[in-house]
Amino acid sequence: MVVGAGLGGCTLAYRLSCRGLRVLIVERGDFLCVPDRQPGDPIGIYHKSALAITNVIGGPTKFYGAAMYRFRDNDFLATEHEAGESPSWPIRYSDLEPYYCEAERVYRVHGSAEGDPTEPTHSITFPYPPLPHAPLVSKFVGSLRDTGTCVSDMPRALDYGPNGKCVLCPTCDAYYCRLDAKMDAETAALRPALSSGHVQLLTRAQCRRVLTSDNGQKATGALIERNGNQHTVHADVVAICAGVGPSARLLLESRSSRHPLGLGNSTQCVGRYYGGHTTGMIFPLLSLTTKLPGMHTKTFSINTYYNGAPGWPYPLGVIQAAGQIPFWEGEVVPWWKKWPARFVGERSIYCFYMTEALPTRESGFELSGNQIIGMRPPVQNTNTFKKLRLLAIDLFKRAGYRVVAPDHRSLWHTIGTVRFGRDPESSVLDPNCKVHDIDQLYVVDASVLPSAGAVNTGLTIAALALRVGDSIARVKFTGAN
């Protein structure tokens, strides 16, 4: 049984189905209903609360930017940052490398290992070539390169190319694709899984608790609520893929006399080690007068500051193109800033810049008794983030652009709360993502990541899910862990 049809859950179900195992997916949400496209309508549908839409088949990937990056070698190692240490992973890049190759194939990732000094080794080249830049983006990238800035192609998961459905429209990042051309968890993984005949999907079914054997040593199924009724479902293996927050919550809410603190929580690590990316936006203006035409802008990134910069010994992060998102319509922009935000947004090829926010034992659930009453944020690398902003301003200015760089930050691509590790004292899961002290119970989604690096986390979640699928199949068929 797989709980949650998001990125981790759909990819795991896909892999298990390929291995010939029968899978039931229970998902609390349903397929997203969108209005039919009328002539002249844009392809993408924007939802100003896309960040809040998680309970749909495919999870937030129905709106994601499809930037599918491999973590860099150093992201798997303990790394010193300005505000503390980013922890070591229980596995290394080389352990995940074959699964990155497979995840890139499943999600049809377009990219190139050339021209990015931080790109780790690939045993197989990207399955598809990088996306072409729109003419204005090409000119913009050219002027950055002319001043010595190293600009690389962004790896993207789209059904683009001969016979592909994607037309590289302007409404992609943070939009729902009505051509079904975005390779999200549903289109890329769930559909082939369902078509295998091995996978059943139960929608509007919320998992309330995971059940264990009388001695508490193994998972035996789950209690599912659907249409107001509760049902017990038995399963040989339960994999929780409910995302950062809900997966940890489910473990806590499954407490029993054998596990009074919650499943996997004997060392009280569930709900802790919450991390992510501190993210800002920067606007290099291409024009002060006219609006830019609609175009697909999300094709490049600048990763040269990933591991530091001259005079800055700590990892800084990335600068990457955003799509043409009407972010000013969102709730985070107050009404009095909407007009200037729109003015600047419509005249620039704007970018995100992201720095790692560090997980600690204190970051994550704030509890009052058994109640989760809040979320303590990860530790920000404040000066590093400021430094990255200054470097980004400088490189766009050197290329000849006026720059607007609001001093605003958000936490994106969150990770942690059910991290995997070698030591049960400081982790919930073993290196195969099985709960340390309970058999047949796995977790695989963003919550298992011990750290977020500074590139988007999606491909790593997918690669881990493929690896966990193989681990479950191995235990099932050979009995060997």
User: Could you list the residues that contact ligand FAD (CB under 6 A)?
Assistant: 3-9, 26-29, 50-51, 54-55, 59-61, 63-67, 174, 206-207, 241-244, 246, 250, 413, 445-446, 456-458, 461
Strand partners, 374: 366
Q: How many CB atoms lie within 10 A of CB 291?
A: 12
Least distance in angstroms from the C-beta of 169 to ligand SF4:
3
One DSSP character per residue, 292-342 reads: PPP-----EEE-TTTT-BTTB-S---EEEE-----GGGSTTS-HHHHHHHH
What lies within 8 Å, CB to CB, of 399 at 6+ separation is 140, 143, 144, 146, 147, 149, 284
Q: Which does residue 44 bind out of ligand FAD, ligand SF4, none, counting CB within 5 to 8 angstroms by kind? A: ligand SF4
Distance (Å, rounded) from C-alpha 268 to C-alpha 436? 12
The residue type of 350 is Y
Which of the 8 DSSP states describes residue 26?
Answer: E
Least distance in angstroms from the C-beta of 116 to ligand SF4:
22
Q: Answer yes or no: are the C-beta atoms of 112 and 129 closer than 8 Å.
A: yes
Cβ proximity to ligand SF4: between 43 and 240 the closer is 43
Q: Which does residue 172 bind out of ligand SF4, ligand FAD, none, counting CB within 5 to 8 angstroms by kind? A: ligand SF4
Q: Which does residue 27 bind out of ligand SF4, ligand FAD, none, counting CB within 5 to 8 angstroms by kind? A: ligand FAD
Distance (Å, rounded) from C-alpha 434 to C-alpha 471? 9
Cβ proximity to ligand FAD: between 21 and 325 the closer is 325
Q: Answer yes or no: are the C-beta atoms of 236 and 23 closer than 8 Å.
A: no
Least distance in angstroms from the C-beta of 317 to ligand SF4:
25
Cβ proximity to ligand SF4: between 182 and 467 the closer is 182
Q: How many helices (H) and strands (E) does the chain have?
A: 8, 23
Q: Which residues bind ligand SF4 (CB under 6 A)?
A: 43-44, 158, 166-169, 171-172, 175, 177, 179, 181-182, 296
CA torsion sign for 131, 135, 138, 140 is negative
Q: Which does residue 179 bind out of ligand SF4, ligand FAD, none, counting CB within 5 to 8 angstroms by kind? A: ligand SF4
Least distance in angstroms from the C-beta of 394 to ligand FAD:
26
Least distance in angstroms from the C-beta of 181 to ligand SF4:
4
Least distance in angstroms from the C-beta of 180 to ligand SF4:
8
Phi, psi dihedrals of residue 97, rounded to the nearest 5°: -55, -50
Q: Which does residue 241 bind out of ligand FAD, ligand SF4, none, counting CB within 5 to 8 angstroms by kind? A: ligand FAD
Q: Which does residue 177 bind out of ligand SF4, ligand FAD, none, counting CB within 5 to 8 angstroms by kind? A: ligand SF4
Least distance in angstroms from the C-beta of 202 to ligand SF4:
28
Q: Which does residue 207 bind out of ligand SF4, ligand FAD, none, counting CB within 5 to 8 angstroms by kind? A: ligand FAD
